[in-house]
Structure 1
Amino acid sequence: MGIGIPICVQCGTARNPCRCKVVGPTVGFLAFVAAAVVEWPVGAVIYCFKHLKGRRIMAHPATVVYPSVTNAIPI
């Protein structure tokens, strides 16, 4: 039993001739996980004192990191 690399597929895009993206969403997911490992604990601590700021920090991987990386790679 091993741990595999997650592969994400996004179909229906018009950014390439195949109309499917594999590399962008997969790298975006890995960047999301890396950012979340750092930002979620920090956001949780800050949430204790400033709720809105803590929520924004914890949402950053999903709202900024993943879409930025996914859209930067067209395949």
Structure 2
Amino acid sequence: MFPACVECGTTRNPCRCRVVGPTLGFLAFLVAAAIEWPVGAVVFLFRKGKGRRIMGHPATVVYPSVAGAIPI
């Protein structure tokens, strides 16, 4: 089973739906989260603010940049 994310109602392309960008963004999010969440949890023990930023990085930076780069 392959995960597919669909975003409809956008004006970025003629068919007004996006599938490729959000799906690749989700896969990039999973890869980044698998690496950054354990690291962020260890850092959180010593510096809470820095650990929270590391654990939030996949959702605030990785997913939006990958999903926004592909208009279809």
Consecutive unaligned residues of structure 2, counting only runs of 5 or more, are none
- Could you tell me which residue of structure 2 aligns to residue 22 of structure 1? 19
Residue 68 (structure 1) aligns with: 65
Deviation at 1:43, TM superposition (A): 0.1
Extract structure 1 runs of 4+ deviating beyond 2 A: none
1:12 and 1:19 map into 2 onto residues whose CA distance is: 5
The number of residue pairs the alignment matches comes to 72
Question: If the length of structure 1 is used for normalisation, what is the TM-score?
Answer: 0.95
Match of 2:40 in 1: 43
What corresponds to 2:31 in structure 1? 34
1:11 equivalent in alignment to 2:11:
no
Aligned amino acid, residue 57 of structure 2 = H
Segments of 5+ residues of structure 1 without an aligned counterpart are none
Q: In 2, Cα distance between the equivalents of 1:59 and 1:12?
A: 27
What is the TM-score of this pair, normalised by structure 2?
Answer: 0.99
* Amino acid of the structure 1 residue aligned with 2:30: V
Deviation at 1:5, TM superposition (A): 1.1
Give the letter for the 2:29 counterpart: F
CA RMSD of aligned residues (A): 0.3
| AA partner of residue 35 (structure 2) | V
